Structures are given as C-alpha cells and as structure tokens.
Amino acid sequence: MMNLLFSIDDRFYRQMLTTLLSIHLNSQPQRIDVYVIYNGQFHHEGVLKRGIQKLGMTFHPVRIPRDDFVNAPVTDRYPTTIYYRLLAHKYLPADLDRILYLDADILCINDLQPLYETDLSRYMYASAIHTNLTNVTETINKIRLQNFDADGYYNSGVLLMNLPKIRQRVHAQDIFDYLRNHLVLLPDQDVLNALYGDQILSVPDQLYNFDCRNLAIYQTISLGEWTLDWVMKHTVLLHYCGREKPWLTTVNHGRLTALYKNYYQMANRYLKD
C-alpha cells in the first residue's frame, strides 16, 4: 500500500496524471491512495478522478475550507497554497501514519517502494539535499535560516512524512509567526528547513530527487559514474525543477526533457476520456 499526496490547481492536473502514470508503469504496490489538496473551485476534479481510477488507484479529494487561513500571513508572495504541504496533517485522515508528497513536475522511472518504506521512526520527514550541486548556496541558507543542526537545505518537492510525529510538533501558529518575523525566499521550503530541518532524514538526491537541469553536473561530481544510462537504471524520481517546464513546447533542456514529453504524451493518450 502507498499513500501519495499532491497539491495542485487547474493548471497542473495533466502533469499530476503524468506523474501518476509513471508511478503506475514503474512501481507496483498492491494499492495506491492518492490525496489531492486544493482550495476553492477545481474545475477538473472529474477528469482527475477518472484518470486516477483508470490507473487502478483511489482518489481522495482534500478540500481546504476557504476561511481556514484567515489569520495566516497571505500576500501575493505568500499565497495560501504555501501552507498546504506543511499543514496537510490537519486535513488528512487521522488513521494515516505515512504519506509521500510529490510535486507535479516529477517523473518516476524506477520502483518507488524502497523510498516509501524508508525507516522514519526517528524523523518527521525524509527529503533530499542537492548538496554537491549547491555547496555555497547551502552554507548561505544555513546562515540565513539559522538551522545549523540540519544536514543542509532540503528540497520540499519530494517529502516523505511521518504523520504521527508531524501531528505532535507542527503547528500552524508557529509557521504563521515565522513568516511574519522573517524575510524568506521560498516560503514553504524555507519554513520547512528553518523550523524542522533537524528532524529530516537525508535521502540521496541522485536517486530520489534528481535535478534534471544538472545532468552534466551530476556526471562530473560522480567522476563519470552517474551517466544517463546510470540514471535510467538507478534513479527513481526525476524532478524538473525551475521555471521552464518540459511540457511547454518551446522548452528543451536535453535528453531528459524528451523523456518527460514522451510520458506526457502517453498520459494524454492513455487517460483520454
């Protein structure tokens, strides 16, 4: 069994279905429950539900009440969506003890089960650091966020959650207070690292959060080991980070962009009404 969590709006339902198709094709847990957080009106819920069911998965919409963040700092820079993955435990069923959050710009190309079954008994989260890609930035982030006990700056696009521990420690008011009193660059990710960085288990990014913009850099820092062939055989999650996304027809970041476009096309064909 596997519980997956997404937080999307109407612009990203096709990308999320692409992620799910890639999981369906490359991982084979007996059951997958898909929880999708959104606020307000979501016009493509029917299409999303049909697509998820066609993949043999179970769809669970998680609707956030409109007035739930009335006391939260909300601006153009801090929309309510930044709180969803951090406070998901408030809205998920109380009997869930584990869930894997994924951004919708991710492909799964090998078995996801080993990550999902990672031992989290001593941690609230498991996540990856793009350590060797951003050594200077990582040092700056530790100083900026004052989280010197953390191993580094974690990317929140892949986040395995130990829900019982999170329910004990993560409180909305702590997050609201932090955002009111600090200048942040990436709000949800900065909060995760600043408040809970010492409770995150590091998992290798070359396996579970591969930054697709940096294939050549990965190959360099691994002394030639992490080639494209190695990635296709070993990497589990490809993360298409950054502003320019592979589903846009004008974007071409190389060989991994073509791989995404192939899955995106398959999803559109496979999940057609």
Q: What is the pLDDT along the chain (273 residues), one digit of tens a residue?
A: 999 999 998 889 999 999 999 999 999 888 999 999 988 778 899 999 999 999 999 999 999 887 788 778 877 766 788 889 999 999 999 999 999 999 999 999 999 999 999 999 999 999 999 765 544 455 444 444 444 344 468 999 999 999 999 999 999 999 999 988 988 888 888 899 999 999 999 999 999 999 998 999 999 999 999 999 999 999 999 999 888 899 987 766 678 999 999 999 999 988 775
Task: Quickly tell me which residue has 């989290």 as its tokens.
Answer: 120
pLDDT for residue 144: 44
Q: How many CA atoms lie within 13 A of 210 on its CB side?
A: 25
3-state secondary structure 16-46: HHHHHHHHHHHCCCCCEEEEEEEECCCCCHH
- Per DSSP, the three-state class of 131 is helix
Q: Which helix (H) or strand (E) holds 142?
A: helix 135-145
pLDDT for residue 41: 78
Counted domains in the chain: 1
Q: Residue 97: give its domain's CATH number.
A: 3.90.550.10
CA atoms of 81 and 192, how far apart (whole Å): 14
The number of residues in the chain equals 273
Residues near 102 by Cβ (< 8 Å), separated by ≥ 6? 4, 5, 6, 19, 157, 158, 237
pTM: 0.91
pLDDT for residue 141: 47
Q: Containing domain of residue 135, as a range? A: 2-270
